[in-house]
Amino acid sequence: MGRPTTKADLLEAAAANYEKMNALISAMTEKELATPFDFAGDEKKKEAHWKRDKNLRDILIHLYEWHQLLLQWVQANQNGDDKPFIPKPYNWKTYGNMNVTFWEKHQNTTLEEAEKMLAKSHKEVISLAETFSNEELFSKGVYKWVGGSTLGSYFVSNTASHYEWAMKKLKAHKKQCTLR
């Protein structure tokens, strides 16, 4: 399936990828869970997140924090508070630093807590998406605060696409573990 462009496709892709991600996590061995992520030897993995995240908890917390961004952004703007998606002092050019702040904030969060937090926030994001019509989600110009994009694209990016990112990273880690 390509990138969702309808409410039905968004909800289906978000659910399917969340389920696939959780199945992948459930299949992780003790060794895979205990081994720190290390992609330093792979020169193709240059993006900062390959160095930042050291374990499953870090990935789950990253997803959780981005859910929070979406939930807070939509709620604030629906209440008339003109709030950008990326909170100050960050912006789309510096959001990598924001991700590091999220990472630092949760170094004492347990994997079990992270799993519960993500499960709850996933449900909240899906419930919120369900409150919008297809037109509200995927027509441009419906909400001034969304800018030139669609509200639905933010939901896709924070669910289905972000879950794909997580699975790609987990699969790369699993592969690394078999090579060690």
* Tens digit of each residue's pLDDT (9 = 90 or more) over 75-114: 999 999 999 999 999 999 999 999 999 999 999 999 999 9
Domains of the chain from N-terminus onward: 7-179 (1.20.120.450)
**Structure confidence at residue 107 (pLDDT):** 97
In this structure, what token pair is assigned to residue 160? 């289905």
Mean pLDDT of the chain: 96
Beta carbons of 163 and 122 less than 8 angstroms apart: no
Q: What is the pLDDT of residues 128-178, one digit of tens each?
A: 999 999 999 999 999 999 999 999 999 999 999 999 999 999 999 999 888
Considering only the C-alpha atoms of the chain, give the largest distance between any 2 of them, rounded to a whole number of Å.
53
130 Rama class: left (phi>0) / alpha (psi -120 to 50) / beta: alpha
